[in-house]
Structure 1
Amino acid sequence: STPVGVSENGARAALRTAVGRALTALAQGDAPESAFAGLATSGEAQSFSGLRDRLGLLHTVIGTPWPDVRAAHLAETAEDWLGLELDRAARALAAGSGRSAGLRLHEALQGLLPWPEAADLDRLAPTRLEVPSGSSVRLEYPSADAHGDDDAVTSGDVAPPVLPVKLQEMFGATQSPAIVDGRVPVLLHLLSPARRPLAVTADLASFWAGAYAHVRAENRGRYPKHPWPEDPATAQPTKHTTIRAARG
């Protein structure tokens, strides 16, 4: 727990230790809001974790100037990127102004963004991708700690981000999406109309030409109101049932 009513130095030291524990918990798979409970709001912890994972992918694939944001490195260098926030939170806690440290983790992590390369962050590692149906679907990035220890590795060694999307919304696409200027293929988790998993692929063209026929045979009877064309690569993508799509 974070200290209340103690000296500013004592509060700061306790916060510094707590941040290290939280980063370790995050690296071990704890949810961000759980790892940083008492240190930051749930939303702040999730925003921090999301940015960290995007930066982790860029550091792994590109290397410098994108920063190393693995938990162990962030814990070791906390004074560099989080020092001012620790000062602010320690003053507030020492003054007895609250039980939560209220650390602004996301803002502090943004301070590590390289310039002018930071302007390319959303293009290289977007938070969402637009799919053929027009939907904007959130990408699920692997943990920044899921990658290797090297500054940069080959794209084939990188844990890919996942795009969970209904199969019908990908009709008409002839290849899988990729990020980081095409260097990292996105792993598609193709879902049924009920959002149940149907297939996983990083090669959509091969899936359409092969396994799709089996998926179609297994599911068109289960979901008769949804389209299951024989040639999905040339079919119209849709978010809707066959009847609603026909109505326009």
Structure 2
Amino acid sequence: MANNKALGTGGRKSDKDLKIRVKTAKGRKVASTKWLERQLNDPYVARARSEGYRSRAAFKIKEMDEKHKLFKKGMHVVDLGAAPGGWSQVAAAAVGSTVEKPLVVGIDYLDMDTIPGVILLKKDFTEDDAPAMLIDAMGGHGADVVMSDMAWPTTGHRATDHLRIVHLIEIAADFAIQVLKPGGSFVAKVFQGGTEHELLHMLKRHFSTTFHVKPPSSRKDSAEAYLVAKGFKGRQEPETEL
């Protein structure tokens, strides 16, 4: 008895049937195979390629901007941990940054190809002289948005990884408070476990609104989310205990 598949009458294949399967090649780890399979089946990876973005991460900041109105024409933006450059690409287009008048400055210790309208610094942001280099590259302008997609390579130890990402957020937030104009915004990657109470308290003192966001393009099985702080009040003096 002929089956429906042979006769071509089985109807539309399910999404599961249409997924690309990747065989584990000799010398390739199972984890690498799974990552490759996920990339090949990720619609955001395909969209990034077709729309000229350097990574799927570009859609995360794009979605956050669409919902929370982070960028306006003429704004100055700093991108911490910019590689491969997707966030800088989105910001440059949104603020109208050009080669003649660059409004976006990005920094990363990894090599990046040039992006029109973006000043790129090859430097580890955690090094002591990195903030001064960024301020110099900004040409005396304050920032309207400081954004950070920085993350350390994970160790597999949950508590350690949490402390490491909190440290990155802290130094990014300290920099943002130094350079933001009143009304400015700060965006930073966080992971499951949330933001440390002291850090969140500090941000609430300096910003009108502070909240967590998980944009649609952030994978559902990922622990990542983003901390968004808007309405910078200007540098506030630390609270003193009585």
Structure with more strand by fraction:
2
The alignment's TM-score, normalised by the length of structure 1, stands at: 0.25
Bigger CA radius of gyration: 1
Structure with more helix by fraction:
1
